[in-house]
Structures are given as C-alpha cells and as structure tokens.
Amino acid sequence: MVDRDLLSIQEARTLVRCAREALTDLAKCNQQQVDTLVEAICQKSMQESERLAKLAVEETGFGRWQDKVQKNLLASEKVWAHVKDIKTIGIISEDREKKIIEIGAPVGVIAALVPSTNPTSTTIYKAIIALKAGNAVVFSPHPSALNCIRETVEMIQGVIREQNLDENLVTVMCYPSLDGTQELMKEADLIIATGGPAMVKAAYSSGTPALGVGAGNVPVFIERSADIDLAVDMILESKLFDNGTVCASEQAIIVEKVSSKQVRESLVKRGGYFLEGEELEKVKKVMERPNGAMNPAIVGQTANFIAQLAGITIPESTRLLISDEPGVGPNYPFSKEKLTSLMGFYEVETWHEACELCFKLLANGGIGHSLAIHSENEEIIREFALKKPVSRLLVNTPSTHGAVGLSTNLTPALTLGCGAVGGSSISDNVDASHLINIRKVAYGVNWKPSTPRVESEACAIDINKIAERVLAELRQSMK
C-alpha cells in the first residue's frame, strides 16, 4: 500500500531539485529572452482563458466561468502590461552621480500555494511574475482544484518547451498533501502563499522567507455625499463578481441613517433581499460550521443556491442576500468574511461612528487588507485614509476590481499584501519586482584618512620607478 504523505514529500523534493537544474538554462538568458518567454506564456494564457475558466468552475463548483475569464485575463494580459518594462535581469539601474549600480538576481525556486477559489488565474499570475524575475516555480495546488491547476501548468510548460527551455521551470505537485506542502516550503528559496490564515501562518513558520497575505473582511462605507445608486451598482458588481470569491470583495455595507432608506431601496431595486426572522435564522444555520468557520458548501455560490440550501423561498430576481447585523464578532456571522452572495448591513448616525465600526469589522478578520468608501467629501476620505489599518483604501470604485488593479492604477495582482498589522511581510500588491534580490555596487566617493599620512624621504615610494622596473622585467621575459 502506497503511503500518500511519503509520496507527496518525495515529490516535493524531486520537483525542487529538478527546478534548480532547470534554472541553469534560464540563468543563461538575458532580459530580452526572458521577456520573450513570459510574453509567449501570456499570449497563450489569453487564448486559453475561457477553457481554463470553465475547467475551474466545473471542478471546484465555485463562481462563474465568465468572471473567471476576466481573472485569467487580469493574470495574463493586465499583469504583462505592468511587468513588461520592469528590469529584473542583470543591471537594472545605474546612478552615475551617486556611483551606485543595482543588479537584479533571482531568488531561486519559489513555492507557490494556490487556493481553490482562484485556481487557474493564480497559477498564471504566479508563473508569470516568477519567470519574469528569473525564478523557477513549483505549485502546491488545493486538492479540490488539482486538475484545472495541472492543466494550466501543462499549458505553460508547452510554451516553455517551444522556447527551447526546460519545462521544469514551472511544475506542480500531483500528490498534494499537508506534509508534502510543508516539505516544499522547506526546500524552496521563497514562498508565495495565497489562501486562508492557517496556510499563511504555516508559510511564515516554515523557516523559508515568505510573502503571505491575510484574510479580507472588507467594509464599505456609503457616506451621505455619495451618488448612492452608482455606489450600490459598484458594490453589487464587485461583491457578485465570481460569486464573491475574491478576498477583496465587500463584506458589510455601512450607511448613515440619513441615507439608509435610499440605500436599502436601491439595493432591493437591483436584486438585494433583506433577510428577516425565520428566513434569516435558516440562512445562518448553513453559513458556518459548528466551530464558526465558513461553510465551504456556500463558497462562490449564488443567492438562489444558498436559499435552496437553507430551505427558504426568495424572489427569482434576487442576486444578494443581506442581513441587518446588530454587532461585530464571533457570534455575528454577517460581520465576518463571506466569500459568497451574502452581505452584512449596518446603520450609524455619523461618519465618525462609521469610522469606528469599520475598524471593528477589520479587526474581526480583515485587518491590514482593504477598505472601500463612496464619498465626495475629501476631508472624510482623508480621515479614513489616515486612521484605518489597511493597505488599500478604495475610493468610489468596486472594491474587488479596485484592489486587484482592474479599475484603479494599483499594481495588477492576485496576491495582495496586508502589511505587518495584518500578519504579512509586505503591504503591496505583489509583482515581479518583489521576487528578485538586488545586488548593489557602490563606488567610494568621499573617504579620507582619519589622520594625514606622513612619509619620510627615506621610506617614500616612487611609483614611476617601480612601474619602469616592472615593465623592463616583462620585456625581458618576453624575449
């Protein structure tokens, strides 16, 4: 009988060893050759975006394939447009005035952990930024998305072979397990962890340098000066994108009482349904497991699917299930991250109260990640920006699209750092520039001896005479 854990551990070691051997080929490539490879992978990924999106939905049951196409295009077309002019190989900058040269050097083999919510797009994205930086990458797939991730890797390997390079530059574990993933993280040179808090914590505990991201529990504040109908349109588009599987999607709407009625009417008009009484209690029962963790059965599902699961009847036009939530914390499920078609709703008297409530919601599982605000009041926007512990404040834009760089000029990425406050080593959207070591060459410019040199005539060195003697000896030896 085969021990699957031992098989997984051995596979991790083998893949890392093969990746190191493959790097000898890539190390011979200059920046132009690396860019040619990466661009070809991007082009192929764009061509296959629909097929891979459908595979992901078919295998995992999460989300909508039409939206996963957009994720695949973000991971390829949009990411390539951002990284194509970034220098990562050889001399990447030179400051003649300060006499400093910066040289890019790859970190080596990257262990890339891939979630089931964004399997194909995350694989494309991480492969592109890893190769752009001159690295090899070994993927540890979520078991429930193994086949579509393997299919994506095989597509990338085909392009690598066409470029006459070793396909082991990009590989994937076929026998993923917890023990195997831990071994992969130990053997690699750097980890990029995208997934739940437990996975990220394991990455940071592995002893290998890691770029991990925390959970997202994104509040959105509709301030009274906002265009309410436009704000609601953006929130629904963002929250329902791929049925809520993006960690940057809004999780709770906060409104001032003065505009609450208008916001509620706008939500209902656009497919929102406010749960009450027995219906609410039935939905709460299917939202979470007994330990308070999110029920995977509702992840990436439609409002109608959740209603059927809960045994309630809702209008066919319903797109989003909403609940007025009286508090924040473990006993208030709508105050937590919900990667599906569920949303919490809060009323406050003033924007100052909204500010404090946003902090409580962030501290309830999303600190360091993102916060959205819809407002025309720049003073209030600045107050939120200065005081909220987030890495991204998204203003008058869908949170999902804004955070990943689709509707903003933020770096297009599917790994969103949460900073030290969120347990991450980075607060940026991760791109290829984060996956290189920078070697600095610094020329001396202003050093002087601490005490003047004193040379007597007896010990003074005549450099010219020494040079003449050396040249004479050379000439003699050449006769």
On whether the CB atoms of residues 256 and 228 are closer than 8 A, the answer is no
More confident: 184 or 470: 184
247 belongs to the catalytic site: yes
pLDDT at position 478, please?
Answer: 53
Cα(278)–Cα(387) distance, rounded to whole angstroms? 39
Q: What is the pLDDT of residues 366-388, one digit of tens each?
A: 999 999 999 999 999 999 999 89
For the chain, the domains span 4-213+430-438, 218-407
Q: What is the pLDDT of residues 179-232, one digit of tens each?
A: 999 999 999 999 998 776 777 778 888 889 999 887 889 999 999 999 999 999
Q: Of the listed 18, 42, 148, 247, which one is catalytic?
A: 247
Containing 393, the helix (H) or strand (E) segment is: strand 390-395
Q: What is the pLDDT of residues 273-328, one digit of tens each?
A: 999 999 999 999 999 998 888 999 999 999 999 999 999 999 999 999 999 999 99
Q: How far is CA 44 from CA 66, 121, 152, 160, in A?
A: 18, 13, 10, 11
Secondary structure of residue 172 in the 3-state scheme: strand
Distance of CA 142 to the CA centre of its chain: 16
Type of residue numbered 471:
L
The CATH class given to the 218-407 domain equals alpha beta
Report whether pLDDT(170) > 60: yes
Cα(444)–Cα(85) distance, rounded to whole angstroms? 31
The mean pLDDT of the chain is 93
| Residue whose C-alpha is closest to residue 363's, from 329, 397, 333 | 329
pLDDT tier, 5 (very low <50, low <70, confident <90, very high otherwise): confident
Report whether pLDDT(174) > 60: yes
Cα(132)–Cα(431) distance, rounded to whole angstroms? 9
Burial of 5 from C-beta contacts in 10 A (0-12 / 13-18 / 19+)? middle
Cα(75)–Cα(121) distance, rounded to whole angstroms? 6
pLDDT at position 456, please?
Answer: 53
pLDDT at position 471, please?
Answer: 58
270 Cβ contact list (under 8 Å, min separation 6): 232, 233, 236, 319
Q: How far is CA 139 from CA 111, 147, 412, in A?
A: 6, 12, 20
pLDDT at position 194, please?
Answer: 79
pLDDT tier, 450 (very low <50, low <70, confident <90, very high otherwise): confident
The predicted model scores a pTM of 0.90
Fold of the domain spanning 4-213+430-438: Aldehyde Dehydrogenase; Chain A, domain 1 (3.40.605)
Quote the DSSP letter at residue 450: S
